[in-house]
A = this chain, B = another copy of it.
């Protein structure tokens, strides 16, 4: 066996926190992350978009499925796929990211799906805007929440429930929520919420309820487990915590060169190379991306954003000198928020937008 080109000084690890349990690995095997090299593509291919599935994927007959508008509406109704397809259709690129993305980089690591950098993707979503349908159902005065529930159900912390989330009338008014039946021009796949889901642009993925069965107008705040029992920024289990909502500014790099199969360390030829990646900040524009090259943060060139709620490409030229390098990238959004160098810890490991580091060995 020849000497490995990946031998050399051992740098700090990309991820910390020591060892993982079998339950975490079973979740990682089941839930699909992005392959970082596919960040080279504007739109994530069908089947390469990340998936975080809380319970089991329900298999639903699209021909008989009816979405119910119920609760405190003056004109409640049910609607099927054919009728939804006959309404005005919008196709919109949206970058979705799991609220738990980056969890495995926190120390101590919260016990759940151990995402590192992979839980992000951009699809072209097709459907009809939700707001006019809510208007058609005529919410009563005094409605303070709309609850969105899916056909998927199971247990979390001993509590049985259907997956459900809510948005207030004010939140809905400020968001381009789409009632979606297609992804990348194809009918939704079962695992992406077929036959009907919502996509809530700008918010972490938990808001984009899949397998949608009902929209309920409520005169008191929704108390579903996924709304009040989790997706909160907490330091201790006893505090209520602020809700997880919009996606924080973040960037990722397409790892340059070629990989070592198991460690994913990279080997690169010396000389000029263009580094590329993506940056996003929910529905806030990306203002700048900097890349750590040879010990200095250097400004990358931004492309056009793919859409108002979708990521922005970036690139930067580098003259790769032989040796071992740890590259990093960090984005700043139009509100002035910049990615931190270290994770900001919280009890459930949500919204870690610390910078990505990529180990590269440049051949001598």
Residues of the B chain whose Cβ atoms lie less than 8 Å from the Cβ of A111: 262
Residues of the B chain whose Cβ atoms lie less than 8 Å from the Cβ of A136: none
- Which of chain B's residues has its CB closest to A53's CB? B35
A264 within 8 A of B: yes
Q: Is the interface of A mostly helix, strand, loop or mixed?
A: loop
Supposing A30-B35, A104-B22 touch, asked if A41 and B54 sit within 8 A by C-beta, the answer is no
Render A55-80 as a binary contact track against B, CB cut-off 8 A, 1 for contact.
11101000000000000000000000
A164 to chain B, nearest CB (A): 14
Bound complex: CA of A190 vs CA of B39, how far in Å? Answer: 12
Residues of the B chain whose Cβ atoms lie less than 8 Å from the Cβ of A153: 258
**Residues in A1-15 with C-beta less than 8 Å from chain B:** 1-7, 13-15
B29 and A118 contact, CB distance less than 8 A:
yes
For chain A, the bracket of interface size reads 35 or more
Bound complex: CA of A115 vs CA of B30, how far in Å? Answer: 10
Residues of the B chain whose Cβ atoms lie less than 8 Å from the Cβ of A157: 1, 4
**Residues in A22-57 with C-beta less than 8 Å from chain B:** 22-33, 35-38, 40-41, 45-49, 51, 53-57
Residues of the B chain whose Cβ atoms lie less than 8 Å from the Cβ of A45: 189-191
A189 to chain B, nearest CB (A): 5
A180 to chain B, nearest CB (A): 15
Render A177-193 as a binary contact track against B, CB cut-off 8 A, 1 for contact.
00000000010011110
A54 and B118 contact, CB distance less than 8 A:
no
A158 and B261 contact, CB distance less than 8 A:
no
A137 to chain B, nearest CB (A): 30
Residues of the B chain whose Cβ atoms lie less than 8 Å from the Cβ of A4: 155, 157-158
A274 within 8 A of B: no
A210 to chain B, nearest CB (A): 13
A33 contact from B24, B30, B190, Cβ within 8 A: B30
A255 to chain B, nearest CB (A): 8
B35 and A160 contact, CB distance less than 8 A:
no
Interface centre among A18, A30, A46 (most CB of B within 10 A): A30
Render A194-205 as a binary contact track against B, CB cut-off 8 A, 1 for contact.
000000000000
A263 within 8 A of B: yes
A40 and B59 contact, CB distance less than 8 A:
yes
Supposing A45-B189, A158-B4, A192-B47 touch, asked if A258 and B56 sit within 8 A by C-beta, the answer is yes
A259 contact from B24, B46, B56, Cβ within 8 A: B56
Bound complex: CA of A116 vs CA of B56, how far in Å? Answer: 17
A75 to chain B, nearest CB (A): 34
Supposing A4-B158, A57-B38, A189-B48 touch, asked if A20 and B23 sit within 8 A by C-beta, the answer is no
B191 and A23 contact, CB distance less than 8 A:
no
Interface centre among A13, A20, A159, A262 (most CB of B within 10 A): A262
27 contacts between A and B (CB under 8 A): A4-B157, A5-B158, A15-B26, A20-B20, A20-B22, A20-B24, A23-B262, A23-B264, A25-B104, A25-B114, A27-B264, A28-B29, A32-B33, A37-B57, A38-B59, A38-B190, A41-B190, A47-B47, A48-B190, A54-B261, A55-B261, A111-B262, A153-B258, A154-B258, A154-B259, A155-B260, A186-B186
